[in-house]
Structure 1
Amino acid sequence: MTSKSEFAQLPNPSPKAPIFSWGKLIKLALASLLLIPLIHCQFPREIASHFRDCVRGGKDTTPLGAAIDVLTKFPVLDSHLDLPIALREEFGLDFAAFNLTTPTPSPFPMHIDFQRTRKGHLGSASFSSFVECPSPDSADTSVRDTLEQLDTVFLLEEEYPDYIKIVRSAHELDTLSHRKLAVMLSLEGAHQLGDSLSALRLYARLGIKYLTLAHNCDNVFADAAVEGQRSNGGLSDVGRELVGELNRYGVLVDISHVSDETAHQAIDINKGPLFWSHSGARAIYDHPRNVPDDLLVRLRDNPNDGVLQVVVAAADFMGDSPSLRDAADHIEHIASVAGKAHVGIGSDFDGVPTTPEGLEDISTYPALFAELYKRGWTKAELAGLARKNFIRVLKKAESVSRSLKRTSAPSMAVPPTRHDLLNNRGQ
């Protein structure tokens, strides 16, 4: 133990202590090494993120590099992929005949497999179930064939649990790890209800996120754009009830494929956001499946919000020998009229015979986003196009559903074709 008097005898610290110690010298040398890449990069504003890019060898500032940067953080949500019907038509829904992880046969005969999913930065998709319009000369198997395709999607989840997760809400879309493909269910045509709102409610409980009011034929609910006979004058009375039930169950009312009259009438009564699952711009290419500007203006001005998912893979809707640039033209026109917050991607891959040059399959999404980046789209706008616009709209549809379920009862309407029920109602 040292006494106070002994403290008084200790010498004062030397005023000439060494400026450098070995520890300080080593730290200074390390700091100098770390500064080299910053000097090379000319001290950008966002030092931290840019420093990481520099030590990795430099940030890719090309349009493709910018697109991949966006899609890494906000992978594509494609609202219309026809994998279920493609597997039905190519393999008869025989799961022993194909492998989506190591494609067999190789190359895989369709537009989608898990290798190309990752290359194309596809993070979410709606696997749409589709059946042809019923023939008056044969039994209507629409409900059976729809259930088989929905079953296919559930079996895909069982078969590939490391790759696929079926999601049933916007929250799940927003939060699922990008290591898995978030898959939604949807139906491409109200004829798949078999003239029954009860079927719709059961499909909704299975998790479908949108229903197309009509495909290429009129049905008891709505008129179609292609091959339609305008038999309802747009929406029928029970078709209006269908729109109400879709709102009530948080299922998006899809007005792709429908006649212009049907679309306007559906917008008039739709309590939820507007939605086109896969359509183009008629001002760019005059096709009845594409959307005219007067409907784009209604999308822009609609107080309930909405999104038009652009059908970038369907060459038939883009003219003769279209390319990736034509697909970008459709996106740009729709955005110029309706606003960039109201566009998304609904490719129609696996549902079309030919695709535009440069958009041969789902691996090519980054090239499309790079083209738009070159045209002046910001990264934030590209993130909206990729997925954020759709998720925002789906959240609003779910909010409307919660409100309507508190204030309204399910519709008991049936179409005039349902004599089996009408006869028992005294009608």
Structure 2
Amino acid sequence: MLLKFLTALLLLSLMQCFEKHTDIPSYQERAEQLMKNTALIDGHNDMPWQLRKRVHNDLSAIDLKTWNVTHTNIEKLRAGLVGAQFWVAYVPCNAQNKDAVRHALEQIDVIKRMVQMFPEDFQLTTTADGITEAFHSGKIASLIGVEGGHGIDNSLGALRMFYELGVRYLTLTHVCNTPWADSSKVDAGSVKPGVNGLSDFGKANNSGIVMVNFYPNFISCNGTATLSQVADHLDHIRNVAGADHVGIGSDFDGFDRGPIGLEDVSKYPALIAELLQRNWSDNDIKKLLGLNFLRVFKKAEEVSRQLQKINMPSNYIIDQEKVQRPCRTFLGYPSAAFHHP
């Protein structure tokens, strides 16, 4: 009889202990709550390139809500609590000095049409404040970036027109050199250096962020990687550069298979939960999710406003000898390049 009593007392104590701790959220629950309050801003998604490759940008050929041959669809974006997405107008390197500008324009076009087709889910924006506004209204803020500096065909005029179309970043290179910046293949030794980093034309100063790419070869130096290894990269950047200088630029749909546990855009809460387990503070998580990006974006907007006060846009021209190709014409170009005054 005493044994039964003690057993019942033990069970009661365990139940009371369990009840006291059931209100403690799991790492996953904490991650989701943080992501509902602070927009996760992904700086790089190649879904537009998948649209070009698979359906030649014919949006009527698929249902983007459920299209399941890619890392990205609307259902997955919602499940992953993505708050803002830079959609990338990717220009392949074999278009350099040929029809790169046309490729970029067509990809900008498909991004805009995609956003317009799903106004209940997407909201096109070009500003930091626009990201916050879209997020608070329950939309996925959608921004445009161009991947590959060769996409402007060495023309500041083309770059200015891209800005007018809503483009808000241009990667300096992809996997090919431009006359003003060297690509990563120079570091790998597979391409000869052109300007040994950046030319004077290619340089700008900032206190920006490193937005981590999820491509398995970048994460683990082989064909497979894990969510934990992605977290290792985030840890490393935070340790070396500080929590103010880390962000996310996944490159989803720019590679075949994502890291194990981080296979597509629906898995973001699992990554944030992993960082919480590694004792990242809520404040550092918020910086990673989007506060760092918003800080840098607002600074870029400030510089833009200052530059736009200058009445005369830059007429800097790359030396035509550095870009001479049989597919190019140089109508109106001087025999020698202009330089900054």
- Sort the TM-score into its range (normalised by shorter chain): 0.7 to 0.9
Query: How many angstroms does 1:401 deviate by?
Result: 1.6
SS in 1 for 2:309: helix
When structure 1 is superposed on structure 2, of 178-187 and 408-417 the one drifting more is 408-417
Deviations 1:143-171 (A, max 9, x none): 11111100001101221111111101111
SS in 2 for 1:220: coil
Deviations 1:228-256 (A, max 9, x none): 4212232234x34xxxxxxxxxxxxxxxx
Query: How many angstroms does 1:415 deviate by?
Result: 1.6
Question: Hey, what does 1:88 align to over in structure 2?
Answer: 52
What is the distance in 2 between the residues matched to 1:221 and 1:403?
24
Alignment partner for residue 115 of structure 2, among 157, 160, 169?
A: 157
**Is structure 2 residue 313 aligned with structure 1 residue 410?**
yes
Alignment partner for residue 235 of structure 1, among 173, 187, 198?
A: 198
Question: Hey, what does 2:38 align to over in structure 1?
Answer: 74
Question: Hey, what does 2:181 align to over in structure 1?
Answer: 222
When structure 1 is superposed on structure 2, of 366-375 and 320-329 the one drifting more is 320-329
Deviations 1:214-238 (A, max 9, x none): 110111221111254212232234x
SS in 2 for 1:410: coil
Query: How many angstroms does 1:368 deviate by?
Result: 0.4
SS in 2 for 1:80: strand
Query: How many angstroms does 1:208 deviate by?
Result: 1.3
**Is structure 2 residue 333 aligned with structure 1 residue 422?**
yes
Query: How many angstroms does 1:403 deviate by?
Result: 2.0
**Conservation of the 8 A alpha-carbon contact between 2:319 and 2:336:** no
Distance change in 2, residues 1:236/1:370 (3 Å) = same
SS in 1 for 2:247: strand
Deviations 1:27-55 (A, max 9, x none): xxxxxxxxxxxxx987xxxxxxxxxxx9x
Question: Hey, what does 2:212 align to over in structure 1?
Answer: 310
Question: Hey, what does 1:167 align to over in structure 2?
Answer: 125
Question: Hey, what does 1:351 align to over in structure 2?
Answer: 254
SS in 2 for 1:306: coil
Determine which structure has more spread, i.e. the larger CA radius of gyration. 1
What is the distance in 1 between the residues matched to 2:179 and 2:247?
30
Question: Hey, what does 2:156 align to over in structure 1?
Answer: 197
SS in 1 for 2:280: coil
Question: Hey, what does 1:256 align to over in structure 2?
Answer: none
**Is structure 2 residue 251 aligned with structure 1 residue 362?**
no
What is the distance in 2 between the residues matched to 1:72 and 1:180?
12
**Conservation of the 8 A alpha-carbon contact between 2:40 and 2:289:** yes
SS in 2 for 1:352: coil
Query: How many angstroms does 1:113 deviate by?
Result: 0.7
Question: Hey, what does 1:21 align to over in structure 2?
Answer: none
What is the distance in 2 between the residues matched to 1:123 and 1:426?
44
- TM-score normalised by structure 2 residue count: 0.84
Question: How well do the aligned residues superpose, as a CA RMSD in angstroms?
Answer: 2.2
Query: How many angstroms does 1:132 deviate by?
Result: 1.0
**Is structure 2 residue 183 aligned with structure 1 residue 188?**
no
**Is structure 2 residue 226 aligned with structure 1 residue 323?**
yes
Question: Hey, what does 1:207 align to over in structure 2?
Answer: 166
What is the distance in 2 between the residues matched to 1:426 and 1:143?
21
Distance change in 2, residues 1:346/1:403 (3 Å) = same
**Conservation of the 8 A alpha-carbon contact between 1:341 and 1:384:** yes
**Conservation of the 8 A alpha-carbon contact between 2:45 and 2:253:** yes
What amino acid maps onto 1:310 in structure 2?
A: V
What amino acid maps onto 2:192 in structure 1?
A: Q
Distance change in 2, residues 1:426/1:122 (3 Å) = closer
What is the distance in 2 between the residues matched to 1:41 and 1:405?
61
Identical aligned pairs, as a percentage? Answer: 33
**Conservation of the 8 A alpha-carbon contact between 1:129 and 1:188:** yes
Using CA pairs below 8 Å that are at least 6 residues apart, which structure has the higher relative contact order?
A: 2
What amino acid maps onto 2:32 in structure 1?
A: I
Distance change in 2, residues 1:426/1:195 (3 Å) = closer
What is the distance in 2 between the residues matched to 1:236 and 1:307?
21
Deviations 1:283-318 (A, max 9, x none): xxxxxxxxxxxxxxxxxxxxxx3111111x210112
Query: How many angstroms does 1:419 deviate by?
Result: 3.4
Structure 2 portions without partners, runs of 5+: 1-17, 321-328
What amino acid maps onto 2:333 in structure 1?
A: L
What is the distance in 2 between the residues matched to 1:146 and 1:422?
23
What is the distance in 2 between the residues matched to 1:100 and 1:213?
30
Alignment partner for residue 138 of structure 2, among 155, 169, 179?
A: 179
Query: How many angstroms does 1:195 deviate by?
Result: 2.1
What is the distance in 1 between the residues matched to 2:244 and 2:196?
32
What is the distance in 1 between the residues matched to 2:334 and 2:276?
60
Alignment partner for residue 289 of structure 2, among 366, 383, 386?
A: 386
What is the distance in 1 between the residues matched to 2:32 and 2:268?
9
**Conservation of the 8 A alpha-carbon contact between 1:85 and 1:130:** yes
**Conservation of the 8 A alpha-carbon contact between 2:177 and 2:194:** yes
SS in 1 for 2:108: helix
Question: Hey, what does 2:102 align to over in structure 1?
Answer: 144
**Conservation of the 8 A alpha-carbon contact between 1:170 and 1:391:** yes
**Conservation of the 8 A alpha-carbon contact between 1:174 and 1:391:** no
SS in 1 for 2:256: coil
**Conservation of the 8 A alpha-carbon contact between 1:60 and 1:66:** no
Deviations 1:331-362 (A, max 9, x none): 00000010011111110000012221101000
Question: Hey, what does 2:85 align to over in structure 1?
Answer: 125
What is the distance in 2 between the residues matched to 1:135 and 1:152?
18
Distance change in 2, residues 1:229/1:395 (3 Å) = same
When structure 1 is superposed on structure 2, of 348-357 and 398-407 the one drifting more is 398-407
